[in-house]
Amino acid sequence: MQERRFTGEINPSMTGEKATLKGWVHEIRDLGGIMFLILRDREGFAQITFPKKKIDPDLLEVAKRISRESVITVKGTIQEDKRAPNGYEIIPEGITVLNPANSPLPLDTTGKVGAELDTRLDSRFMDIRRPEVLAIFRIRDKVLTTTRNFLNEHGFIEINTPKIVATATEGGTALFPITYFNREAFLSQSPQLFKQIMMGAGLDRVWEIAPIFRAEEHDTTRHLNEATSIDIEASFVDYEDVMVLLEDLIATLYTSVKEGCEKSLSDLGIDIEVPKTPFKRITYTEAIDHLNGMDDPEISEIVWGDDLSAACEHELGRLIGEHYFIIDWPTGSKPYYTRPSRNPEISLSFDLMHPRMELASGSQRIHEVDLLTSRIDAMGLNPDSFEFYLRAFRFGMPPHAGWGLGLERVLMTMLALENIREVVLFPRDMKRVSP
């Protein structure tokens, strides 16, 4: 049996060699005396050339009857042709239709006829056949692989925390309740409590890449109700230590994609610049001082403790023009586990910002059980509901810090995409739970 080759594994220097290719019929062009069939696989395209006077008539008839997007096997001879994709063509000796495609197609994979995002998501299996869409998910794979390697190299241990939980991670109502046998439970908002418990277990440095669920009624181009979070927690460090780790990871991800995904970036028609470290740091106070000086009707006067709106983020991003941190947020604006500084009104916390939006949030954590309990109570929550979490703090909890980074937002901003749904195989938002 002849081994299958991907289109990207063949080059013009193989002229005269036999090859077996498998893939989809991307396009058929009949120019009278010659016919071309463009085969597509995950690596790219191959031109199958049928010189009508030289080819087996039966083989030509088979090719003429094949519908676009049918799955085929082609066996033939490689021949150099500078005009063809990748500089070669295949002169076929046999074609087998493995599975014919129905017609008409739900969308045009050649891109000659555009389609709205909803139409594309309804037929995602076909949308991803388009090279520029497939490129996004090849880059997503690269980002995930690089992240895992980076964290392993920095001494982190991968963990898996539960996604069905008994209580809210951060309080509030942004929870998806589920029926868990005879009682109520929730889909996890974050692995936060469990990764902190692992600091008390002595794992020292942990990471997880997993889905998180937020029942927030946001219908925007940058929000999802099911997203992928990259989370870390580390013992015996402070919030500056984990900020340095985060900025180094971001720079490493950009470098990895720029150097390892050249074809995918080309398919998307973009190039990317690797951000320079260290990233600029501005305090929350500096941020609101600047914003309160703006003569912009979309930015009303910000009171101490306010969260920053999208308009505020855009203005700061325009000013700074690169990745940056907003540090030292008001204690009351951050979750109960965030450690206050010597000034109890200010927390040891940060948000990582891209000029377009927030990417990550992190902090130094409270590790003393009495302070943590009082903060839970001050937030209007019942400490008894967090007993499984607090118990770990009564038996030797080291100082620790960590962050959570939104994978989809990293990809969206890196690739200059307009809608976060572009970087998710099957996005889940307020309106979409299928496919």
What are the residue numbers of the active site?
Answer: 214, 216, 222-223, 358, 361, 409
Note whether 206 and 158 are within 8 A (CB).
yes
Rounded Cα distance, 427 and 120, in Å: 12
Alpha-carbon dihedral 368, 202, 189, 378, rounded to 10 degrees: 0
Helix 284-292 vs helix 310-320: crossing angle, to nearest 10: 100
